[in-house]
Amino acid sequence: MSEHTLKPLITKEEIEHTVRELALQISCDYRESRPVLIGVLKGAFVFLADLIRHLSIDTIIDFMQVSSYGSDTVSSGMCAVTKDIHVDIRDKDVLIVEDIVDTGATFHFLLEHVRARHPRSLKICALLDKTSRRTDGVTIDYCGFSIGNEFVVGYGLDCDERYRSLPGIYALKNK
Ligand code: PRP
């Protein structure tokens, strides 16, 4: 039995439409290139899988996993790499693919970590942008949806490893 109530926020159809639009823009911007797409585990695996199937360009896929320290709801801003990329990204165009940018702590850490490998260019694509909890300036190059200060699950996002497989995105409320 679930102790949560799930309030529908973004439907499967809305996500599909937006992922297609993002893929169109990315395909256009990288038409002269073969970018390295770095999916940030675990949350971004569903988004990345859908995104690449709508791209009309060739890509290289790799993954990173970062752990952030803090309580369930408050990030300390401290991050560590728990799984690094294997692809050599020097002089390559790199696009980091995130499910959500929340406080921005992971975003800043990833930018610094990846930039140190000397890519030719570095951009970020995030399906969700939760601007209200932002502690640092963040520019998302390709953004799907801006959302309010709600805890969201579904489409790869979890609460204690639950709800990742839901096709839409839901705001989670405690019962
Ligand atoms: C989520 C999300 C981002 C990060 C964003 O990952 O995938 O990587 O939080 O938060 P921030 O902007 O406050 O740093 P999470 O730590 O929940 O891990 P998961 O993707 O494995 O579920």
What does the pLDDT profile of the chain (175 residues) look like in tens digits?
568 899 999 999 999 999 999 999 999 999 999 999 999 999 999 999 999 999 999 999 999 999 876 655 556 668 899 999 999 999 999 999 999 999 899 999 999 999 999 999 999 999 999 988 787 678 999 999 999 999 999 999 999 999 999 999 999 988 7
How far apart CA 53 and CA 174 sit, in angstroms, is: 35
Residue 44 Cα to ligand 1 middle (Å): 9
How far apart CA 21 and CA 23 sit, in angstroms, is: 5
Residue 102 annotated as catalytic: yes
Q: For the whole prediction, is pTM greater than 0.85?
A: yes
Which 8-state DSSP code applies to residue 35?
P
Which 8-state DSSP code applies to residue 139?
-
**Could you tell me if the CB of 105 is within 6 A of ligand 1?**
yes
Are the C-beta atoms of residues 167 and 155 closer than 8 Å to each other? yes
Residue 41 Cα to ligand 1 middle (Å): 8
